Structure 1
């Protein structure tokens, strides 16, 4: 099968307009870069993809090609911004829209210390009025949808009151969708990593939010590990955002188009996906990008097949050496059995 082309990207872009948030891959710092997104798009035509969070300061003053550049095959693709100044967010949103992003998302969920020091991310759960001002400024600046990703609340906030206040603010300001990570963030006492696992999930709270806003798009994130679990959530909500599971086991995205969108999968399996990824890899290698910078996103591709561990090991060793190229990836893939996946990976 040929590498993903512009006509396929255009088809995906047109076909997802009714509800582009039905299934998405979460923005994840240090993970969902342009190489990761290009590979994910090979696995699924319809799933909405997000960038890593980019701060307004970086957008306004940093190297934009490195920070914002993306392959046209990635559509639908959204830019996630971090910031709390309405003017800066409006200017950054305008730049993102000019670069061709299909959506601009505001981060109101990241719990890291750096984010708190900059007065954005999850700490903005305490300032719904300010978030509303930010969203209104962004909506006024761009024609593409503006969305928000938030938590249930932070620290000792009441999650009923905090989430209701946030939804009222962002929907009132014109947000097209609200994605809720169904956990609190504990800004005091838990690390960013612990905040992804320790606070308990409360899917019911997000379901109640949707019931209160039947005419607005509400999507859920947090702890969803399979396409089947995503489908269960779609019985209550407009959309599902999958995070670490989609990154750690990207082959699950091959199931997305058939099971969620009722369309044929673009590839049969991980082997075909690698073949279609090769032209992109070759182009980036010619530009001086290291193979390991791209193949680090593939390590979980063959989980469940005999040889998966050998595949990972080869990429983690030979793939990081100077001069590693497509032959290195092919050598790694040759270590994996093409037989039906086993229940336990080798």
Structure 2
């Protein structure tokens, strides 16, 4: 199982001081956080994609390429790549290039984002969000798997004899997660292709996400990719820790109350009761995170949001120390207990290359057997 962090890259004033970081400070803080994630033993760093203030990560592959050059083991991902407003050709090229530079330590999470105005900024119609997601990904999937592509669809100019360059590393495209918080069509899309489904369950009660994940698992099996239990599921989460629970609640409350995404709404206590948000001791984070398997089954990736709402960089780095030293080792051990042998681990490039080689060998043996039978 893979553990990591994701960032939305918000530039938010610290409610305790009133000071907001500059865009440069925030960008460099995100890099520092990624390097710290590798240092403390996390598996994944993921960044969102936004094109509007107060967010800064408008070019995820640029940032991830810089981080790739300064890390050795960390898996680099997006927390959202806007499949609706980015050209699939450019996504294919950018992530294949990043894959080569990072030695395969790359995957990508497709999403539609949460900012309506981004659609006209990039020449698209928000009312076509789902059809855009479906058609654009169909093209991207094809571009990564066929050397020469002919294509005609509703939303972009046709392609004739087109080759996306560079080709995916080792002939194996980056693993794709389809992220959604509300759309069964996206769960269906992930299942159809045998890709991963990431339920960023940080805002709503678990019952909503149980329905989406169950649909994805059922349809994954329906399309013949494996059993429902073998489907690739990722989950979001939010934590803030101090060794003493009361200290954690007291320190985090002003950040929660003024956060741009959920401030001035439900109370901190209501939110922690109804969502995965955990504010307390490392042990409380462990206990609540372990309940996710009870709700959603065995899964492959757990990402935590830890650097939002104006939290100072120093505080975030302290959080990562606690996460890496006291929380993740216990979670790894506990999640491994009772995990069925047939449930896959988190996807890696090496594992996927090996699987492709096995599949090619099986095809060769089947072809030889068929030829021998005819002879």
Fold shared by both chains (TM-score > 0.5): no
Which category of TM-score, normalised to the shorter sequence, fits these structures?
0.3 to 0.5
The structure with the largest alpha-carbon Rg is: 2
What's the TM-score once normalised by structure 1's chain length?
0.42
TM-score normalised by L of structure 2: 0.40
